[in-house]
Amino acid sequence: MATMVDCPTCGKKVEWTEANKFRPFCSERCKQIDLGAWAEEKYSIPAVNPPKDFDGGDLPH
């Protein structure tokens, strides 16, 4: 049995299989709507500001 997910754009149930070339979207249309939203900066990833005394010494190089 295939895993079912909700299309992020319209909410329609979609099978998560290799046969669905638009996954996790239900269609090319929903995929393009989502891409357009990113391009118009309607989505954002919040920035995390390090503490003022952070020197970056613990970060891998």
Question: 10 to each of 4, 7, 48, 50, 57, how far by Cα in Å?
Answer: 14, 6, 30, 36, 44
Structure-token pair, residue 5: 């997910």
Sequence spans of domains, the chain = 3-39
Q: Encode pLDDT of 6-45 as tens digits.
A: 999 999 999 999 999 999 999 999 999 999 998 888 888 7
Is residue 60's pLDDT more than 70? no
Is residue 61's pLDDT more than 60? no
> Given this model, what pLDDT does residue 52 score?
74
For β-strands 13-16 and 3-6, DSSP reports them as antiparallel
CATH code, 3-39: 3.30.50.10
Annotated binding site for Zn(2+): 7, 10, 26, 30
Annotated binding site: 7, 10, 26, 30
Q: Which residue has the higher pLDDT, 50 or 9?
A: 9
